[in-house]
């Protein structure tokens, strides 16, 4: 049975009109970078739960979750309006297999995220313990508007530590910016725009891909990688090249 513990809100970071992060403290059990928890609040005498990935690294006492405000949504509206000192519930035990322990040793690891799904990658990148087995990390961070690149400064700071082992490519879908690529990930991969810009190429010999974000982006990207790049889904029993966060 799911065990819930009280989480005390420490801070709500408002990034844009639609994006915010919630920072809380709670007596949870240790988790692995890349895993997720369930948050629970009461709404009209009923509990509602949603799953969010940790942004913070496991050793950090402050737990951070990145959330998109859904104006008509039941849960995110309430989370958005929380104040420091308020309490919610969180699962004591975290879950998920989107961790570096599940990723085989490889030359180039592509971390592909849309929107708030950059969260688990932030956690993984801050926790150095399993990154030794990867030569290069290529991060594709796709958002609609430049102002939504909320965790880009954090990733850039991590990159400084790893020097040229990390490559970051931001992708913006709804406006043009000279530093970034414009468009959506599956189409940009198909047109080779991303590979040509960063000069790293996806192939079954030295690539592993971690995909997290908009479910249609994940589906379309996976389809492209399997059909055109000859990659396979990575399973414990049948090692392959594509790992996906499915939240189960
Ligand atoms: P989002 O919907 O993923 O949008 C961000 C970017 O993805 C935009 O550039 C958008 O392009 C693009 N996009 C949307 N649909 C697409 C598609 N079909 N193909 C290619 N690109 C597409 O951002 P979000 O609202 O922050 O949602 C994040 C997703 O990640 C959610 O599904 C969430 O469940 C999941 N997730 C969240 C967390 C977390 O902890 N919060 C963790 C893991 C996963 P346009 O501007 O053209 O629409």
Q: Confirm if 113 and 212 have CB atoms less than 8 A apart.
A: yes
Interatomic CA distance for residues 213 and 217, integer angstroms: 7
For ligand 1, the distance from its centroid to the CA atom of residue 85, given in whole angstroms, is 30
Q: 124: Cβ below 6 Å to ligand 1?
A: no
87, 104: one domain: no
Query: Who wins on pLDDT, 44 or 134?
Result: 134
The answer, yes or no, to whether residue 128 has pLDDT greater than 70, is: yes
What is residue 25's predicted lDDT score, i.e. its pLDDT? 98
What is residue 43's predicted lDDT score, i.e. its pLDDT? 81
Q: Confirm if 19 and 66 have CB atoms less than 8 A apart.
A: yes
The answer, yes or no, to whether residue 2 has pLDDT greater than 70, is: yes
β-pair type (242-244, 134-143): unpaired
The boundaries of the domain holding residue 32 are 4-91
pLDDT band at residue 97 under the 50/70/90 scheme: very high
CA-proximal residue: ligand 1, atom 30 (nearest): 213
CA-proximal residue: ligand 1, atom 20 (nearest): 217
112, 156: one domain: yes
Match 């969180």 to its residue by tokens.
90
Domain of residue 239, CATH code: 3.40.50.80
Q: Could you count the other beta carbons within 10 Å of the beta carbon of residue 236?
A: 7
The answer, yes or no, to whether residue 38 has pLDDT greater than 90, is: yes
The answer, yes or no, to whether residue 130 has pLDDT greater than 80, is: yes
Domain of residue 24, CATH code: 2.40.30.10
pLDDT band at residue 206 under the 50/70/90 scheme: very high
pLDDT band at residue 118 under the 50/70/90 scheme: very high
Find the angle CA(156)-CA(203)-CA(133) to the nearest 5 degrees.
Answer: 50
DSSP conformation letters of 35-51: -EEEEEEEETTEEEEEE
pLDDT band at residue 247 under the 50/70/90 scheme: confident
110, 19: one domain: no
Match 């059909």 to its residue by tokens.
227
The whole-number average pLDDT for the span 50-58 is 98
Query: Who wins on pLDDT, 128 or 183?
Result: 183
Which atom of ligand 1 has the smallest separation from the CA of 65? 40
Which atom of ligand 1 has the smallest separation from the CA of 217? 19
What is residue 163's predicted lDDT score, i.e. its pLDDT? 82
Of 52, 74, 91, the domain-final residue: 91
128, 240: one domain: yes
| Percentage of the chain lying above the pLDDT 90 cut | 93
Interatomic CA distance for residues 242 and 54, integer angstroms: 21
The answer, yes or no, to whether residue 198 has pLDDT greater than 70, is: yes
Q: Confirm if 134 and 111 have CB atoms less than 8 A apart.
A: no
Interatomic CA distance for residues 49 and 51, integer angstroms: 7
Q: What is the CA radius of gyration of the chain?
A: 18
What is residue 248's predicted lDDT score, i.e. its pLDDT? 60
Task: Encode pLDDT of 209-239 as tens digits.
Answer: 999 999 999 999 999 999 999 999 999 999 9
For ligand 1, the distance from its centroid to the CA atom of residue 45, given in whole angstroms, is 31
């Amino acid at each position: 049975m799911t065990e819930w513990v009280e989480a005390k809100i420490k801070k709500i970071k408002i990034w844009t009109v639609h994006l915010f992060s919630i920072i809380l403290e709670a007596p949870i059990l240790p988790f692995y970078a890349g895993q997720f928890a369930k948050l629970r609040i009461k709404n009209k005498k009923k509990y509602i739960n949603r799953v969010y990935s940790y942004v913070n690294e496991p050793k950090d006492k402050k737990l951070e979750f990145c959330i998109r405000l859904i104006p008509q949504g039941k849960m995110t509206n309430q989370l958005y309006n929380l104040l420091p000192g308020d309490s919610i519930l969180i699962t004591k035990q975290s879950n998920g297999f989107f961790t570096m322990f599940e990723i085989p040793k490889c030359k180039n690891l592509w971390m592909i995220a849309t929107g708030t799904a950059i969260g688990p990658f932030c956690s993984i990148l801050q926790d150095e313990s399993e990154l030794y087995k990867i030569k290069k990390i290529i991060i594709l961070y796709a958002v609609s508007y430049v102002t939504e690149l909320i965790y880009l400064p954090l990733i850039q700071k991590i990159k400084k530590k790893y020097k040229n082992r990390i490559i970051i490519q931001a992708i913006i879908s709804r406006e043009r910016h000279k530093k970034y690529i414009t468009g959506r990930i599956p189409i940009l991969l198909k047109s080779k725009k991303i590979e040509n810009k960063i000069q790293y190429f996806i192939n079954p010999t030295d690539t592993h891909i971690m995909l997290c974000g908009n479910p249609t982006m994940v589906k379309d990207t996976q389809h492209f990688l399997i059909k055109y790049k000859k990659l396979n889904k990575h399973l414990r029993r049948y090692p392959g090249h594509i790992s996906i966060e499915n939240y189960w």
